[in-house]
Amino acid sequence: MNGRMGVVSGRYRSLSDRAGEDTAPRTVIELFGRMDDGRSVCLLVHGLRPTFEIAPIGQWKVEDEIAPFLKDRLRSVATMDHVADIRGPEVKWTMLGQRPVWTVEVEQPFHVPALRKALKSQSWQVFSGDIPFVNRLFLDADLGAHVAFSGEVVDERNADGPLLKPSVLDAGGGGRYAVDVTVVTSVDRLEPTPPFQVPYRILSFDLETSIEHETVLCAAACIEDLGSGKRHSIPYTGTEPEILEALTATVLEHDPDIITGYNIDNFDLPRLADRTNILQRGRGSEGSIALFGWGRAPPLETELKRQRDALLPKRQSNRAWNLAGRVIMDTWWQARQALNPRRETLSFVATLLFPDDEAKHKMDVDASKMDEEWAARPEEVLTYCVRDAELPLDILQAIQAVRRKEAVAAVAKVPFETAANGSTSQLIDSLVIRLADQQQVAVPLTGSAEAKEGQITGGYVHDVEKGLHPWIAVLDFKSMYPSIMIGHNICYTTRLEGSLDDVEQPDNVHRSPTEVVFRHQDERKGLVPFLLEDLMAQRDEHKAALRAAKNESDELAVGFHDAMQYAVKILMNSFYGVFASGFYRFTHRDLGSSITAWARQNIKTIIAAVEAEGHGVVYSDTDSIFVRCPIDANAPRMLSDDEREAVEKGDTAALEKRDAHLAAVEEMVAFGTKLAQRYSKDAAVLEFEKGLSVFFSHGAKKRYIGNVVWPAEEMLIRGYETQRTDSFPYLTSTMRQVFRFALADQGDQLVEYARERVRALKQCTVPPSEVVLAKSCKGRVLRTPVKSADDVDFHKDYTNPNSMAQVRVAKQRIELGLGFTSGMKVSFLVTDAKKRPMEVAPWLDTEGDGGEVTYDGLFYAERLAAAVGRITEIFDWNAKDLMAGNRQRTLFSFGT
DNA sequence: TGTGACCCCTAA
DNA sequence: TGAGTTAGGGGTCACA
């Protein structure tokens, strides 16, 4: 058959010799995924052998012969246990110049770590020795997330046959896989294919559990087909084994590619794993498989023993959960990443995303009293369980999590699983290593770079001029760090050390402000600049296609190209971070510091030049400058609501004011565009990004606001408390209003408003829900479920845990039976700040404003006054004045 | 009352 | 033992 699939994940099987046969060791890769026609598939891929590379340490010139002693050493390598073959040499580029490199083939992938270690100790330099075997397939065959294949069908879901079906075993499989179709193929019958939206199937589930007995009371699942958009939900009741087995049967029947739920990583999955361990007693492996055998692997005892990608979901320490052939994607984690919500409970996120849909967030079941609720009204509990199984699908849909990860997988050429749960360096590795292989660049091991000594210097931040500034043009560099890497050919493979002897044209190099020298691209183009240029071109293509799709109102294409261009952008911006990190395989401490040094030089040069032209620069951060425009300061900066209304009615004065405003905006656009154009140079493209009719800062870096009038009208706020998730709602809304007054230059109203708001807090007339604080809390979970504060070790993350409010709150939550997850945001009220440390009480989502908790009004008033006071100070009122309600100034207070 | 250590979170 | 980076503001606590 022929087919196209989206790859979900892969793993390998080592085939041992069958009795009596003298066959060479073989390794088969199982690629799991879903085809464009909607069928799930397992490809059994043959023909790839595990290898790594070695080179001798020591001087060598390309014209040198291979010395006899080296040949001897190679022969001894060939006789080592588990070495199957040695091939080479091939001349490859390494940090120490061109080197002869031999490929060592081993019997099985799991032999590599020990051999690598042994060879290192025998003074061999090892390359490509830490690349997971499945990745090797993607690199060698240049595959991405979408693969076209041909092969022979060896099993189908509806076909007959025993678990150990001969056709599957003969094809190198382990038994019948839990997929629609199983296909045997080989490396040379796979090829990359253009990205398409895979009709993935998602299963979301939720458990209700007894707090007292830690048992599962009931469960629910909801299955969604992304191809048709169809969904259906299933409730589960009965005895605990019945529930677990029915849930497992649903997974196998509906065969999802992605499994989700809300906080399943830290709650539902650990619970299912624990309960499975207890319930299977006396039933052995068969019991485990029936209760929790969710993977696509054959339901065999041997499949339980795998460390990862097993038949049962597993996780190593605190990493993501994994299982054979499917991806576990926690909606809690996805929502947190995409939305950075102030609180992280399911009901809070649902309210945030679906404010008008009451049914999605009302809470009629008290989860903290689940045993009583279950006893008293099981039907309501089950109804909410079903809803909470469906909600994660709504949330994933709203934040486009699956489509975005799919786009990242396509751009980075990795399986969906790597895009969903992998690290940034894995994405970069996928692109860089395949190019290195093409260009005969040896691939160093992770951790082989010299450690970075201390931090590198980062971006330049210009002092802010405090106060109100009319008519400010914001210019910024387009993809600054990627442009610098391209423009100066910055790469691991182009950095020159010491003498420039082997450089053809010693004058024709890039020399950074920190005196690091990079080879010119005409002589040797770096891997990173090459990849970044390609990504930039891809982004332009998708942006063009996006515009075209928008014109044709092709919504499907709009979604696709938008996700793709966004994924390219994310990936491009990840390069700098990875290459500036201390541990990445292709890094050197001079790379990151050269990039930022060039960036600082660029921006500082421009600031100086613009100022020399007579245009003040009020602020600048890393890649942006805020420039005063030569526009009449009296030009109207904005129109009030009344004035807008008057414009609608054709009022002459209002129309005149509007026209004067628009004329000034146009002047600013012309000025900004021209300035950006004049200061763009080669790869360093400066763009006029925004026009502000007013800019305001109280004088702190990274904290400013502006009234944006171009390209669209909006209020811009950066850094201030309104942006922070560890602030409280009353402070946030107060500041937002204060900013409106500030931008309108209405100092008197601003101060009056601020005083009133501080007074309300002091008198505790503000509802408690408006003063809820939230902070994330770390800690190592020692035992699950977390039932007492002793089950979490806070000392690993905190020097003095109890001095941190969020830790004290987390401990109280644990005692209330609410569980704990490392990194979760905990919400709380300050009840008495005079105590040291301050007294805090957890804020539970089920609480309304009628609760008994009372907050410390004075504390909140002081915090509000402090935050707002920084703004009002510009208008001559400080925090103390705000607290007092009047200004404590006399004639004699000056200068004392 | 001032200061430094520690921490969270944001801008870029 | 896992892994994108640095710059920066500001809150809390402990202690002089």
Contact, A164 vs A155, CB < 8 A?
A: no
A459 touches strand C (CB under 7 A): yes
Angle ∠(A157,A161,A167) on CA atoms, nearest 5: 90
CB A45 within 8 A of CB A15: no
Q: What is the mean pLDDT of residues A313-330?
A: 93
- Give the pLDDT confidence of A24-60 residue by residue, as tens digits: 899 999 999 999 999 999 999 999 999 999 999 877 7
Q: Which residue has the higher pLDDT, A627 or A19?
A: A627
d(CA A747, CA A429): 54
Q: Give the DSSP H/E element, type plus range, for residue A259.
A: strand A258-260
Sequence-distant (≥ 6) Cβ neighbours of residue A176 within 8 angstroms: A155, A161, A162, A163, A164, A165, A168, A182, A298
Task: Classify domain A201-399 at the CATH topology level.
Answer: Nucleotidyltransferase; domain 5 (3.30.420)
Strand C nucleotides in reach of protein CB atoms, 7 A cut-off: 1-14
Q: Which nucleotide is nearest to A777 (CA to C1')?
A: B8
Measuring alpha carbon to C1', the residue closest to nucleotide C4 is A577
Find all residues with CB under 8 Å of A410, minimum gap 6, and list them: A144, A145, A146, A195, A564, A567
Measured distance CA(A636)–CA(A625) in Å, rounded? 23
Write out the DSSP string of A773-796.
EEEEE--EE-SSS--SGGGEE-TT
Nearest nt to A716, CA vs C1'? Answer: B11
- For A329-358, letters b (16+ CB in 10 Å) and e give bbbbbbbbebeebbbbbbbbbbbbbbeeee
Any idea where the domains of chain A sit in the sequence?
A: 1-194, 201-399, 414-444+527-585, 449-525+586-719, 757-884
Which of the four pLDDT bands, split at 50, 70 and 90, describes residue A785? confident
Question: A824 φ, ψ to 5°?
Answer: -70, 150
Both tokens of A283, joined, read 């039933």
Which of A126, A50, A55, A136 lies closest to A88 in space, CA to CA? Answer: A55
| Distance, CA of A473 to C1' of B3, in Å | 39
Q: Supply A748's token pair.
A: 């008197």
Closest-lying nucleotide for A776 based on CA to C1' = B8
pLDDT-derived band at A64, boundaries 50, 70, 90: confident
**How many of the other CB atoms lie within 10 Å of CB of A849?**
10
Cα-Cα-Cα-Cα dihedral sign, residues A615, A616, A622, A624 = negative
The Å distance, CA of A463 to C1' of C8, is 11
Q: Which protein residues have their Cβ less than 7 angstroms from some atom of strand B?
A: A 340, 458-459, 476, 621-624, 702, 717-719, 723-726, 774-778, 797-800, 804, 806, 825
Asked if residue A119 has pLDDT above 60, the reply is yes
Average of per-residue pLDDT across A674-687: 95
- % residues pLDDT > 70 (chain A): 98
CA A453 / C1′ C6 distance in Å: 14
Pick the CATH number of A1-194 from 3.40.1360.10, 3.90.25.10, 3.30.342.10, 3.40.50.80: 3.30.342.10
CB of A580 under 7 A from strand C? Answer: yes
Q: Residue A817: what pLDDT?
A: 85
The residues with which A501 forms a beta bridge, in sequence order, are none
Give helix then strand counts, H and E, for chain A.
25, 31
Class in CATH terms, A449-525+586-719: alpha beta
pLDDT digits (tens, 9 = 90+) for A149-160: 999 999 999 999
**Cα A36–A39–A40 angle (5° rounding)?**
105
Contact A227, A37 (CB under 8 A): no
Is the distance from CB of A805 to CB of A825 less than 8 angstroms? no
pLDDT in tens, A759-769: 999 999 999 99
* Mean pLDDT score of chain A: 94
CB atoms within 10 A of CB A798: 16
In this predicted structure, what is the pLDDT of residue A851?
67
**Cβ neighbour number for residue A462 with a 10 Å cutoff:** 18
Q: Are A851 and A877 in contact (CB under 8 A)?
A: no
> For A706-737, what is each residue's pLDDT tens digit?
999 999 999 999 999 999 999 999 999 999 99
Which residue type occupies A541? E
How far is the C-alpha of A187 from the C-alpha of A181, rounded, in Å?
18
Measured in whole angstroms, how far is the alpha carbon of residue A14 from the centre of its chain? 33
Confidence of residue A263 (pLDDT cuts 50, 70, 90): very high
Peptide bond into A482 cis (omega under 30): no
The nucleotide lying nearest A622 (C-alpha to C1') is: B12
Integer distance in angstroms from CA A721 to C1' C10?
A: 10
pLDDT surpassing 50 at residue A895:
no
Mean pLDDT of A352-367: 90
Nearest of A278, A288, A394 to residue A347 by alpha carbon:
A394
Q: What architecture does CATH give domain A757-884?
A: Orthogonal Bundle (1.10)
Q: What is the mean predicted confidence (pLDDT) over A792-819?
A: 94
Q: What is the mean pLDDT of residues A636-656?
A: 95
Is residue A79 pLDDT above 90, yes or no? yes
The HSE-up count of residue A102 (CA atoms within 13 Å, CB side) is 22
pLDDT band at A856 (very low <50, low <70, confident <90, very high): very high
Residue A63: pLDDT over 90: no
pLDDT at A280 over 90: yes
The CA distances from residue A223 to A233, A369, A420, A837, in Å, are 6, 29, 19, 48
Q: From the alpha carbon of A836, which nucleotide's C1' atom is closest?
A: C13
Residue nearest to nucleotide B10 (CA to C1'): A719
pLDDT tens digit sequence for A192-243: 999 999 999 999 999 999 988 999 999 999 999 999 999 999 999 999 999 9
- pLDDT band of residue A892 (cuts 50, 70, 90) is very low
pLDDT given for residue A611 in this prediction: 98
Nucleotide nearest A799, CA–C1', reads: B6
Quote the pLDDT of residue A894.
40
